[in-house]
């Protein structure tokens, strides 16, 4: 039974790992889109407040995206620990999330906290700065 359970955990780990990597790829796309929007807007639009608002929306959207990614990472870490200890039931990602889901205010705080991580702040802060000085 332990071997079958471990095989299921390995399958779950592989699936979550693939999702985790896709989240990373899409976060990079959001960043690249932000750079393109900024450059295009500065070249043709020149309304800095609107550009900054769009950048802020994209920045927070990436924060939400990366928060979702962090949830998969949490489960991946549990699976890795369980494979060492043989003590976790496979395919419980959504049940586990539901049981530990914060309130709406807690979710918003989680999104904002994630948005303030250095790897997410970049490139938004430099782009906002460039927009401010490009008068």
Average confidence (pLDDT) per 10 residues, the chain, 135 residues:
78 93 94 94 87 95 93 91 81 84 92 93 93 84
- The number of folded domains in the chain is 1
Q: How far apart are CA 63 and CA 113, in angstroms?
A: 8
Is residue 44 helix, strand or coil? helix
What pLDDT, on the 0 to 100 scale, is given for residue 85?
83
Predicted confidence at residue 64, as pLDDT, reads 94
For residue 135, the model assigns a pLDDT of: 65
Predicted local confidence at residue 3, as pLDDT: 67
- Domain extent at residue 99: 2-133
Ordered alpha helix ranges (H), 1-135:
2-44, 48-85, 93-100, 104-115, 118-133
Give one word for 112, left, alpha or beta, with left for phi > 0 and alpha for psi -120 to 50: alpha
| Under 8 Å between Cβ of 31 and 22 | no
What pTM value is reported for the model?
A: 0.78
Cis before 64 (ω within 30)? no
């Amino acid at each position: 039974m332990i071997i079958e359970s471990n095989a299921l955990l390995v399958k779950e780990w592989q699936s979550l790992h693939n999702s985790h990597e896709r989240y990373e790829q899409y976060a990079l796309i959001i960043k690249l889109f932000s750079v393109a929007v900024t450059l295009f807007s500065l070249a043709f639009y020149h309304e800095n407040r609107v550009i900054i608002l769009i950048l802020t929306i994209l920045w927070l959207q990436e924060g939400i995206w990366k928060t979702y990614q962090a949830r998969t990472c949490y489960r991946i870490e549990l699976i890795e620990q369980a494979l060492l200890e043989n003590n976790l039931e496979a395919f419980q990602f959504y049940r586990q999330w539901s049981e530990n889901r914060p309130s709406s205010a807690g979710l918003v705080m989680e999104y904002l906290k994630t948005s303030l991580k250095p790897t997410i702040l970049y490139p938004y802060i430099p782009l906002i700065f460039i927009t401010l000085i490009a008068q």
